Amino acid sequence: MSNPINRTGMKKHNFYAGPAILPQEVIEQAAKAIVDFNGSGLSLLSISHRTKDFENVLADADALFRELLHIPDNYRIFYVGGGASTMFYEVPANFLGKKAGYVNTGVWAKKAIKEAKFYGEVETLASSDDKNFTYIPKGFAVPSDLDYLHITTNNTIYGTEYHEDLISPVPLIADMSSDILSRPVDVSKYAMIYGGAQKNLAPAGVTFAIIREDMLERQVRELPTMVSFRTHVENGSMFNTPPVFPIYVLCESLKWLKSIGGVPEIHRRNKEKAALLYAEIDRNPLFRGTAVEEDRSLMNICFVMSEGYEELAPEFLEFAKERGMVGIKGHRLVGGFRASCYNALPKESVEALVACMQEFEHLHVK
Ligand SMILES: *Cc1c(COP(=O)(O)O)cnc(C)c1O
């Protein structure tokens, strides 16, 4: 199924960083459910979250998440509102008693560090700040007296990504907002994984969390009910009204992912898309990538105009826009361009962007 043609008749290629592209069949299914949820004659937008139908959605999402990511039985999944940004303070509120370690890989990591400092000592164990966050720091020591170690597995703004699970002697907590279910991860290496679902799984409004059960015993202070992770685990994400609609779409995204062959297949597709675009960035004399090769993200592909061609950047943006490219302007901290290639982005969109870069090259390089 292809994306709808807009009113100008031009196909749009959606490279937004988030909220971002979702599979077209998921959007169509959601549209149907808004009008008539499961043949009930009622809209998904106006039913109680305490209905059997919605309980089934939560149960399906749980089962699919477990199956797709091979989540071990001693982990629990819950959904809340508030975004990953709320997790930035809830994680330390729950677990930071004395000292936590953080790896600073860019804007989101820095925001997480800032919030953690409200609760205790924060040791920044490694940082790629020295090179404008163009790489993932490696080989740093992790002290064994930390309450936990926090990482950001994909740096949405700078286009860097961990390609291997970090081994940590202390509980490892990861913000996977922008690469969840895009590649295999060994969940057993993590004490907790969380993220805003609006990059790869759902519209804005729901935050997912996968937490190892023993972590719930490690809550270091008394907390308001909504801040404690125990509340959400013990009540199966139903302590208060969960974000019904985004959870429904998340569940449909998981079904879609399973239908195409799960994480191994999406990882293959994501590698293929990224390889196509990085190859063009490396080949085309007008452009260069910003992240170091070994840490390049499969999800957010950042590039700028090569030296000597910098002034062509606004013209390229306009040129690309005229050819249907949407959302490729880079974040203001990096400049240039960012093509977000999340799970639902079809390969044909990457091919269209590559063709556009080649056409632009022929105009400007003799
Ligand atoms: C988008 C993003 C966030 C922020 O998520 P919100 O849900 O808007 O709070 C945090 N971390 C990463 C890695 C992101 O990509």
Helix (H) or strand (E) holding 149: strand 149-152
Provide the angle, in degrees to the nearest 10, between the axes of the packed helices 107-116 and 83-95.
40
Catalytic residue annotation: 108, 175, 199
- Centre of ligand 1 to C-alpha 89, Å, is 13
Per-residue confidence (pLDDT) for residue 157, from 0 to 100: 97
Residue located via tokens 């808004």: 34
Closest ligand 1 atom to 178 CA: 15
Check the CA dihedral 357-358-359-365 and report its sign.
positive
pLDDT value at 124 more than 50: yes
- Mean pLDDT for 139-165 is 97
Per-residue confidence (pLDDT) for residue 1, from 0 to 100: 44
Does ligand 1 lie within 6 Å of residue 199's CB atom?
yes
Per-residue confidence (pLDDT) for residue 6, from 0 to 100: 62
Average pLDDT, the chain: 96
Of the candidate ranges 8-17, 138-147, 323-332, the one whose mean pLDDT is the lowest: 8-17
- Mean pLDDT for 26-46 is 97
Per-residue confidence (pLDDT) for residue 7, from 0 to 100: 64
Residue type for 28, please? E
pLDDT value at 180 more than 90: yes
Which residue's C-alpha comes closest to atom 14 of ligand 1? 177
Listed in sequence order, the DSSP H helices in the chain are 24-35, 52-69, 83-95, 107-116, 229-234, 244-260, 262-283, 313-322, 347-364
pTM of this structure: 0.97
Does ligand 1 lie within 6 Å of residue 87's CB atom?
no
- Mean pLDDT for 174-202 is 98
